[in-house]
Structure 1
């Protein structure tokens, strides 16, 4: 677990030009703290300690402004820059090396006990205040622009933006 915490910190240090030292990141970045809190809550959830997992997750939300359901799947080196207002739903799946900015929502679009939240494959970037809804997949290395509303799959490497989000990188 300690190795994962170091890895999360190093990832943020590498992605944020404002980060001058990793110690500063470890002590003062709420997005990093939210990911760490998720890792603990997820272990509790996986151990069938559902109420303690939800209570711990709630405490992390109060402290960081980031809400990550303990049943979500979060990969390695996931970073949340600025953090405040991020919501990651129960059935969301976030791959390795994903970078999100403040205000991102990975939300559900149905009120049923099914896969109802987005999947972000490895290396995805999601801009500030983007809203991704439903059981959609954002392909490896894709980018979702700030303020976008996305309700459809995005192919690997594509860039989408707007309301509703459409491909803007010159490809069809």
Structure 2
């Protein structure tokens, strides 16, 4: 795809604790590759010129040189700290798209659409609520840098938030448990 505006960056959150999974979830095999690489490749294919991956100190994944590694020493405290760390690293950009490394079916076209929009834009989840992937302009950066603990970017989703439907519901598959990974690999 054509490269996206260099003022837009992608932040891939890959610093989770994997507690419900019971092991190193992102390094687990999903259809012949490590789970995290599926979301990473979608971001690469989308045309982002600036890629950031937020990792925990104990991470065993190994992104290549295209990715700016952001170490989140506070990862044990929750997703909010990873978003804040990613925003601190990407603060020179005008817009960021935040995606989750445990969503292997996210598509390049969906990430690209979020990148090319304006203002806060969330993906509509199956329950109708705002969720990831999501995109934000610099007007939201200060609030995102203040996130802490398990509070994610959804707290910025007010009653009039803009939501976009995923092209297919299965794009929202989010692997949290080993049984979910096993079910996906069996498909």
TM-score (norm 2): 0.29
Q: Give the structure-1-normalised TM-score.
A: 0.31
